[in-house]
Amino acid sequence: MGKQQRQLHLNLFIMSVGHHEAAWRYKGTEPERINDLKHYQRLAQTAEAAKFDSVFLADGLSVNKHVKHGAFVGLEPFTLLSALAAVTERIGLIGTVSTTYNEPFHVARKFASLDHISNGRAGWNIVTSGSIHEAQNFNRDTHPEHAKRYERAKEFLDVTTALWDSWQDDALLIDREAGVFADPLKVHPISHQGEHFQVRGPLNIPRPPQGYPVLVQAGSSEDGKEFAAQYAEAIFTAQQTLLEAQQFYADVKGRLLRYGRTPDQLLILPGICPIIGATESEAKEKEQEINELTVPEYGLNQLSNMLGVDLYTYPLDGPLPELPKLEDINGNKSRFQLVVDLAERERLTIRQLLHKLAGGRGHRTYAGTPAQIADQLEEWFVSGGADGFNVMPPYLPGGLDEFASSVIPELQRRGLFRTEYEGHTLRGNLGLQRPNHPAVPAATAAAISQ
């Protein structure tokens, strides 16, 4: 038998009633259900039936300034993913959690719980947060500087992984006859003393089924790429062109060696917001229809935050004003650069840029037939631009239903996507190894029993 054809990975990025900022106004969506569990359970079950690798929930810790026009609010990820675990069996469950406004013990315990509840399907999208509004909800007047956030994130990851390792895999004995529940020599304090955290440990829950939840990262700045090369097992990234995607792919994969890692240990998944029509003209009409439902005041707030400039005083049909330098941006540096490059490359007015960003907030939006969309995904996949994709339906549930019923079968016909799950855990389906437990001398372990 010949070598099996490489297959792409697909994650469903669930965003309330869709990723387009006007999705809540679009026909067929039900914005009154954004807090309805059954809405999300249906989406997860549809994605599982289509054999998606995982579903993913973004999260933020503040309300958008222009809540008047936007439906980007949502349920807390751990709570929702636990409820989704109960009605699914194979699909991965990835939640966003900030390292800037949490403590490692809390996060390690919650992800270990989710991994146990789901029988090994948990994943953590690691973010450092990017907003002054979030800082103001956590006893701070200012948002920590970009590099400092990543320094804290690195130590945060060191502590959480140590906590997951604080129980050896075979620590639970449950010997009723002898009266021994767990082997105290296999449950260890971590005794971490660092710049940001002091944590004794051990965790008060046994090691997760996957060893660690799958570690996902979404930053594409220099700090973000280096962090990903050291820790991440998948990256959700935003790229607008195949050339940009290829450059990012080669850059990040090339950084792995310095951390003793191989290219297959990190999957790169660019975002794609697919607008699907039976014909290309139908897809373009659909794109125009939903773009016309946008409220410029809402998009301007989002774009102003991305670019670090108040755009409300500039004409919508004029060009962008002079912008800050990249080094002066303390939010999402990579998204700032992507938007600037997009505007310059296509010579967009502010209004045109708002429409370009309305569907994916910087992720690529593509309108076409199922075959055309499959062509795009295949080209990026086989040309060194992606290991798979972070699928961002512009409206839900319709956009997911259309993708699952038309694009997925096309990818399957081409041998590019699975027809059955390979494994029972998220790691198994992504082709990622389970991390081994590090060896700990018995003398050190004895401290826990004292």
pLDDT of residue 106 exceeding 90, the answer is: yes
- Measured CA to CA, the distance from residue 162 to residue 54 in angstroms comes to 25
Q: Tens of pLDDT along 375-428?
A: 999 999 999 999 999 999 999 999 999 999 999 999 999 999 999 999 999 999
In the chain, % helix, strand, coil (3-state, to 5) comes to 40, 15, 45
What is the full DSSP assignment across 165-227? TTB-TT-EEEETTTTEEE-GGGB----EE-SS-EE----SSPPPTTSSPEEEE---SHHHHHH
Write down the architecture of domain 9-281+361-449 according to CATH.
Alpha-Beta Barrel (3.20)
Amino acid found at 393: P
Q: Tens of pLDDT along 307-323?
A: 888 888 888 888 888 88
Nearest 5°: phi and psi at 92? -70, 155
- Measured CA to CA, the distance from residue 342 to residue 37 in angstroms comes to 37
Beta strands 122-127 and 214-217 are: parallel
- Of 307, 407, 409, nearest to 353 by C-alpha is 307
- Measured CA to CA, the distance from residue 181 to residue 167 in angstroms comes to 13
The tokens describing 231, both together, are 């820790």
The model's pTM: 0.89
Residue matched to tokens 């989002």: 302
How confident is the prediction for the chain on average, in pLDDT?
90
Nearest 5°: phi and psi at 23? -55, -35
Q: What is the mean predicted confidence (pLDDT) over 98-120?
A: 96
Binding residues for FMN: 59, 96, 146, 150, 220-221
Range among 96-100, 148-152, 184-188, 220-224 rated most confident? 184-188
More confidently predicted of 305 and 272: 272
How much is the pLDDT for 446? 46
Q: What is the mean predicted confidence (pLDDT) over 285-294?
A: 91
Q: What is the mean predicted confidence (pLDDT) over 33-57?
A: 97
How much is the pLDDT for 2? 45
Q: Quick one: pLDDT band at residue 277, thresholds 50, 70, 90? A: very high
Distances (CA, A) of 66 to 86, 222, 296: 35, 30, 11
pLDDT of residue 91 exceeding 80, the answer is: yes
Q: What is the mean predicted confidence (pLDDT) over 354-373?
A: 85
Amino acid found at 392: M
pLDDT of residue 260 exceeding 90, the answer is: yes
Percent with pLDDT over 90 in the chain: 68
Q: Which three-class secondary structure state does DSSP give residue 130?
A: coil
How much is the pLDDT for 320? 86
Binding residues: 59, 96, 146, 150, 220-221
**Residue 215 forms beta bridges with which residues?**
124
Q: Tens of pLDDT along 197-206?
A: 999 999 999 9
Which DSSP symbol is given to 361? B
Q: Quick one: pLDDT band at residue 351, thresholds 50, 70, 90? A: confident
Q: What is the mean predicted confidence (pLDDT) over 101-114?
A: 96
Query: 394, 359 in Cβ contact below 8 A?
Result: yes
The tokens describing 124, both together, are 């953590």
Q: What is the mean predicted confidence (pLDDT) over 67-71?
A: 66
